[in-house]
Structure 1
Amino acid sequence: MRHHHGRTPDGEPLADAQRRHWQEVHRANPGMYGPEPSGPARHAAGVFRDAGASRVLELGSGDGRDALYFARSGFTVHAVDFSPAALERLAAQAVGAGLPVTTTVHDVRRPLPLADGSVDAVFAHMLLCMALSTSEIHDLVAEVRRVLRPGGIFVHTVRHTGDAHYGTGTGHGDDIHEHGGFAVHFFDRPLVDSLARGWNLVEVHPFEEGELPRRLWRVTQTVPA
């Protein structure tokens, strides 16, 4: 089944429909991923610490299991997500625990609300493989580079074309496929490499997570110092 590129059957932009869907999911399932940090966040914290990072930006933080983990690990965290419901819960938990977390409701299709070179590290778990077009993903990675200082680190994870859901469900074009209301942009290796052009590509690490299981890459790239 295929829909007109980037739109739902009733003509709504896919990304807008996905924002509404995620907002409803977060409202209905507070803490849906549980309190434990993700495996990629545990890995990233070590990488960030080894690099002497202190200011971490998380994109697509949800209700904050990873943002709170970074803050507990000694980083100052700025968490960005397009779900106000999720960020309200994150902010409340951070305040309750006295953790240094700032939150901003933001759609990553627009420029990031941060100054040039203002963070040491950026983390994004499955945010780049949301319902974003290839050009929107390139724009976002350019923004990540802008807000990182020289030598800064970007760790992100994406589902890839070896995943069992790739090529199934509702196709929206641009390697975007929708299952159970969730649209995913599946990455091939040339896309990963093109997003790292002009960066130092440190690692593309394959891993699996959750049901099915989902097949992902954990990508680490740095801004040349």
Structure 2
Amino acid sequence: MRKSEHELADVQREHWQRTYGEHPGMYGEEPSDPAVHAAAVFRAAGAREVLELGAGHGRDALHLAREGFTVRATDFSPVGLEQLRAAAAARGVAERITTTSHDVREPLPLPDASVDGVFAHMLLCMALSSAEIHALVTEVRRVLRPGGAFVYTVRHTGDAHYRAGTGHGDDIWEHGGFAVHFFHRDLVDALAEGWQLQEVHAFEEGDLPRRLWRVTQTVPAPAGDDPPGV
């Protein structure tokens, strides 16, 4: 039985709260490969202040902080963010990380042009409608400074779980309690309109394995402007 968008969002929030509570640090301490890539992209652009969307318990936010960035980490799970704050204190990078409980269906709690880079690992492919994804990317562009980079990853329609489990419409499929919006390439291209699309890199992650795209796109900088952070 399909759930409404609001019902599905509420169920998924409760599911992630419970999952983080039952499995602290469930993704381990090592950063994801996309986070390592994002740090290199941000560093090359001269970024200093970055935002991570869907930070969870923080393995990637911690990596970005260790790489010298000031990190604003958001997630809709207070339990995950509590684990992130504890890990940041234990690793001596608490002064570089601030956390905010936030649902990306709402406007981002940041001023215009206030960060140099945005990173989101498998956040855009959660239980978000296409309209909500477009609205979120519009918000990402709003908070990025000219020349700023957005690095995100999504599971796509070549993934083994596409069309498995319960379908909720709009290419959202729920399997094992987790709802995923599987991306077509057309959606990636539509989200890049008005940006400079630098890369769409296919990769695999996990034991299944999950099949994903890592997308890097930047806000065009006016001619003659310095890169972010300079």
Q: TM-score range by the shorter chain?
A: over 0.9
Q: 2:24 aligned with 1:30, yes or no?
A: yes
Amino acid at match of 1:187: F
What TM-score results when the alignment is normalised by the length of structure 1? 0.95
Amino acid at match of 1:4: R
Which consecutive unaligned segments of at least 5 residues does structure 1 have?
none
Query: What does residue range 84-103 of structure 1 map to in structure 2 within 5 Å?
Result: 84-99=78-93, 100-103=96-99
In structure 2, what is the Cα distance between the partners aligned to 1:26 and 1:76?
24
Q: Which residue of 1 aligns with 2:200?
A: 204
Which consecutive unaligned segments of at least 5 residues does structure 2 have?
222-230
Amino acid at match of 1:21: H
Count of residue pairs the alignment pairs up: 219
Deviation, 1:5, is 5.6
Deviation, 1:92, is 1.7
Deviation, 1:48, is 0.7
In structure 2, what is the Cα distance between the partners aligned to 1:94 and 1:208?
28
Deviation, 1:95, is 2.4
Q: Which residue of 2 aligns with 1:193?
A: 189
Q: Aligned to 2:54, which of 35, 48, 60? A: 60
Q: Aligned to 1:4, which of 2, 5, 15? A: 2
Over the aligned positions, Cα root-mean-square deviation in angstroms equals 1.0
Q: Aligned to 2:171, which of 170, 175, 191? A: 175
What TM-score results when the alignment is normalised by the length of structure 2? 0.93
Higher mean C-alpha displacement, 91-100 vs 25-34:
91-100
Amino acid at match of 2:82: E
Q: CA deviation digits over 1:36-74, x for unaligned, max 9? A: 000100111111111111111000000000000000011
Instruction: Say if 1:158 and 1:39 are closer, same or farther in 2 by CA, change over 3 A.
Output: same
Deviation, 1:177, is 0.3
Q: CA deviation digits over 1:107-152, x for unaligned, max 9? A: 0000000110000000000000000000000000000000000010
Q: Which residue of 1 aligns with 2:134?
A: 138
In structure 2, what is the Cα distance between the partners aligned to 1:173 and 1:5?
10
Deviation, 1:211, is 1.9
In structure 1, what is the Cα distance between the partners aligned to 2:212 and 2:87?
29
Query: What does residue range 121-136 of structure 1 map to in structure 2 within 5 Å?
Result: 121-136=117-132
Q: Which residue of 1 aligns with 2:67?
A: 73
Q: 2:214 aligned with 1:218, yes or no?
A: yes
Amino acid at match of 1:61: A
